[in-house]
């Protein structure tokens, strides 16, 4: 059976190793199955304990994607296998996925993320915890969960709120597609290289004089990437930057229905805005209301609290009919004609939204309490 996660070793100048982990599902754009997530989790745990490894580089197999997200068709199958009264069987998937994401955020060694190509959903969750997040001219980042009746999870509550002003809220509500320049500007990436520079990067890592000192290793890798970044021309223009003022005007933090209509009214402002708004208009009204509440900065959660709350939300949201319907319309039947319930934002009841945030567990029994 083909390995879902491949581990190679890069030997550096003083004999220390860099673990080269590759998500190996190129035919599926490296989407994360539960088995792949468990492989990543076990590899990261073993590398953290192994003093021979000084750092990690994580990439995706093939030329198209770092990781296009979670395997949502698998998640739907888990949800639909539930027996009466049983906790959502998808809980095992999300517990493992969020544990991996949190592990990367808090890892004791530098983790380089080669974010080339498509980086969406679960791929963003892996990337955002990295100490050195690299994007290229081929990078396309997005959190498009509204299109499948879900919400921007995998730490989206955390990293979307690190974006400037209201751009993170806008990105979460619309499933906005972002380029490398957007990523650098919006605190979603640290370095921009050309896609063709990957071989040079891997070769350059061999020359690094790494040690047992994680902070020094971090600085050495930063110096290398800054030097390499300086050799490349500016990759793209950030359209988010060009639309900051407009986004600020149309997001009303006090009223999600008003914000929805203000966003729609600006579709004709530019081609970029039209492309940004289209997924939102086609997306789940319930998801819109949930995301608006999720990304309200008033919640001010710690990273651990973010993953705990997102697990609560994931269990409840995947049990809502919109999730299975969204996956069916987008990825299974591919008719792009989901039948949302309800079909209009004005019909989404606040009690339903509140219920999405309710935890199935008591505080002391929460599966992520010990992160």
Could you say which of 122, 149, 168, 175 is catalytic?
122
Indicate the domain borders of the chain. 5-365
Q: What is the DSSP string of 113-138?
A: EEE-SEEETHHHHHHHT-SEEEE-TT
Residue 101: name the closest of 149, 159, 51 by CA.
159
Q: C-alpha 237: how far from its chain's center?
A: 22
Q: Judge whether 145 counts as a catalytic residue.
A: yes
Contact 137, 279 (CB under 8 A): no
Q: Judge whether 200 counts as a catalytic residue.
A: no
The residue ranges of the chain whose pLDDT is under 50 are none
Kindly list the distances between the CA atom of residue 17 and the CA atoms of 7, 106, 208, 338, in Å, as whole numbers in the listed order: 12, 20, 10, 48
Q: Judge whether 63 counts as a catalytic residue.
A: no
Sheet holding 65-67, edge to edge: 65-67, 118-120, 140-142
Could you say which of 59, 97, 145, 239 is catalytic?
145
What value, to the nearest 5°, has the Cα angle with vertex 148 and ends 142 and 152?
A: 45
Structure confidence at residue 84 (pLDDT): 65
- The DSSP letter of residue 332 is I
Structure tokens belonging to residue 158 = 């955390």
Structure confidence at residue 85 (pLDDT): 63
Could you say which of 60, 62, 69, 70 is catalytic?
70
Structure confidence at residue 269 (pLDDT): 87
Structure confidence at residue 231 (pLDDT): 77
pLDDT in tens, 289-326: 999 999 998 889 999 999 999 999 999 999 999 999 99
Could you say which of 39, 59, 153, 239 is catalytic?
153
Q: Judge whether 70 counts as a catalytic residue.
A: yes
Q: Does domain 5-365 have CATH number 3.90.226.10?
A: yes
Contact 71, 301 (CB under 8 A): no
């Amino acid at each position: 059976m083909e390995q879902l996660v491949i581990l190679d070793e890069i030997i550096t100048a003083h004999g220390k190793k860099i673990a080269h982990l590759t998500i190996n599902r190129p035919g599926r754009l490296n989407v994360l199955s539960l088995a792949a997530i468990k492989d990543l989790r076990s590899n990261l745990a073993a590398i953290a304990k192994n003093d021979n490894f000084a750092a990690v580089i994580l990439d995706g197999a093939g030329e198209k994607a770092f990781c296009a997200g979670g395997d949502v068709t698998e998640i739907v199958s888990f949800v639909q296998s539930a027996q009466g009264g049983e906790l959502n069987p998808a809980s095992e998937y999300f517990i493992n996925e969020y544990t991996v994401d949190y592990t990367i955020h808090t890892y004791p060694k530098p983790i380089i993320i080669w974010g080339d190509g498509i980086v969406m959903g679960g791929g963003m969750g892996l990337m955002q915890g990295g100490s050195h997040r690299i994007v290229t001219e081929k990078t396309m980042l997005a959190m498009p969960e509204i299109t499948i009746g879900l919400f921007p999870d995998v730490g989206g509550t955390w990293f979307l709120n690190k974006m400037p002003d209201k751009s993170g809220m806008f990105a979460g509500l619309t499933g906005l597609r972002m380029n490398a320049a957007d990523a650098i500007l919006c605190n979603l990436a640290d370095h921009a290289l050309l896609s063709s520079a990957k071989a040079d990067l891997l070769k350059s890592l061999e020359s690094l004089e790494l040690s047992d000192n994680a902070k020094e290793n971090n600085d050495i890798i930063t110096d290398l990437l800054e030097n390499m970044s300086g050799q490349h021309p500016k990759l793209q223009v950030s359209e988010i930057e060009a639309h900051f003022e407009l986004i600020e005007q149309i997001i009303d933090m006090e009223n999600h229905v008003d914000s929805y209509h203000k966003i729609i009214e600006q579709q004709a402002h530019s081609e970029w805005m039209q492309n940004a708004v289209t997924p939102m208009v086609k997306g789940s009204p319930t998801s819109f209301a949930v995301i608006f509440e999720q990304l309200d900065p008033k919640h001010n959660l710690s990273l651990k609290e973010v993953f705990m709350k997102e697990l609560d939300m994931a269990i409840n949201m995947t049990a809502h009919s919109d999730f299975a319907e969204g996956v069916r319309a987008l990825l299974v039947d591919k008719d792009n004609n989901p039948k949302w319930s309800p079909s209009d934002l004005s019909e989404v009841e606040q009690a339903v939204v509140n219920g999405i945030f309710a935890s199935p567990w008591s505080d002391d029994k929460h599966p992520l309490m010990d992160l």
